[in-house]
Amino acid sequence: MNIARSSVGNSFLDHLQDADYGLLEPYLSEKMLDRDAVIHEPGDRVEVVYFPNGAVLSVITLMEDGRSVESSTIGRESAEGMLAAFGSQLAYNRVICQIRGHCFTMPTVRLKEAAAKSMALTDDLMRHIQGNTAQVEQSVACNALHNVEERLCRWILMSADRGDGKIVGLTQEYLAIMLGVQRTTVTQAARALQAAGLINYARGAIEIVNRKGLEETVCECYGVVNNKFSTLVGREQPRRLAV
C-alpha cells in the first residue's frame, strides 16, 4: 500500500530516512485494534510488529498466582515486537490493546530483512528498544517507591500522550493491573485526584481536567522516562494534549 509520510502518525515510522521507510512501506498494513485485543501471550511466537498510531498497547507481566502488573505502555512514540527481529521470537509477556485505535503492522521477518540492509535502520530500532527498556526499568522502581496517586498520575499522562485526546479509556480493571493494586485502591486514588480537580473519573474513562496539575502531582518517573527516551532516540515523545 502507498502511505503518505505526513499521515502515518507513528513517530518511529515518521522519522525514518526515506530510503529506510521505503524498505518497510511495501509490508505495512493498517488495522483497527479493539480494546482488550490480545496481541500475544507468553510462549507465543512474535510474528508481527505493531506500530501504533492511535492504539495504545500494554505489556503485562504475569505471576503464577494469577496476579499481574503492567511493565510498559507503547503507543505512537514507538513499536511493539522490534526486539524479535534481532533475537528469539518467543514472547515472555502478555501484550494487549489497552486503548482502542489504529495501528500499522508488518511481519517480523520483513523487519529483520530490512534491518540487515540498513545500518541506519538497525540503529533506529536499537535506540527505540533501549528507550522501551528504560521505561520497564523505571517502572520497577516506580512501583516499589512511589505512592498510588503519583503512579496513577503517571499512567494517565502516559496513556494520554500515546492516545488521541484528553479522555483516556482506562477501566478500573486496567488501572488495577497497571498499578499492581486492588480495584478499591484504584477507586480511592482516582477519587482523590477528582476531588483535587485534576480529572473526571467515570466507569471506563478518565477525562483530564487539569494537565498542569497532574504534572505537578505525578512522580519523577514520568519525566525521567520521557527524558531518557528523548535522549536515546534524539527527539521528544509526541504529546497529544495541551490542557
Q: pLDDT-derived band of residue 27, with 50, 70 and 90 as boundaries?
A: very high
Highest mean pLDDT among 48-52, 64-68, 183-187, 227-231: 48-52
223 CB-near residues (< 8 Å, 6+ apart): none
Distance CA 127, CA 129 (A): 5
β-pairing verdict for 205-208 and 167-168: antiparallel
Residue whose cell numbers read 535506540: 127
If residue 200 lies in a helix (H) or strand (E), which one and from where to where? strand 199-202
| pLDDT of 5 higher than 60 | no
| pLDDT value for 242 | 39
What helix, strand, coil percent values describe the chain, rounded to 5? 45, 20, 30
Cβ count within 10 A of residue 117: 11
- What is residue 239's predicted lDDT score, i.e. its pLDDT? 47
Mean pLDDT is lowest, of 88-92, 151-155, 230-234, 235-239, for: 235-239
More confidently predicted of 231 and 238: 231
Which of 17-31, 71-85, 221-235 bottoms out in mean pLDDT, i.e. has the lowest?
221-235
Distance in angstroms (rounded) separating the CA atoms of residues 68 and 79? 22
Q: pTM for this structure? A: 0.87
How high is the mean pLDDT of the chain? 88
Scanning the structure block, which residue is given the C-alpha cell 522490534? 82
- For residue 12, what pLDDT band results from cuts at 50, 70 and 90? very high
Domains of the chain: 10-118 (2.60.120.10), 142-233 (1.10.10.10)
Strands laid side by side in the 94-99 sheet? 38-40, 94-99, 56-62, 68-74
Rounded Cα distance between 30 and 182, Å, is 36
Say if residues 81 and 30 touch (Cβ distance below 8 Å): no
Q: Over 23-56, what HEC string results?
A: HHHHHCEEEEECCCCEEECCCCECCEEEEECCCE
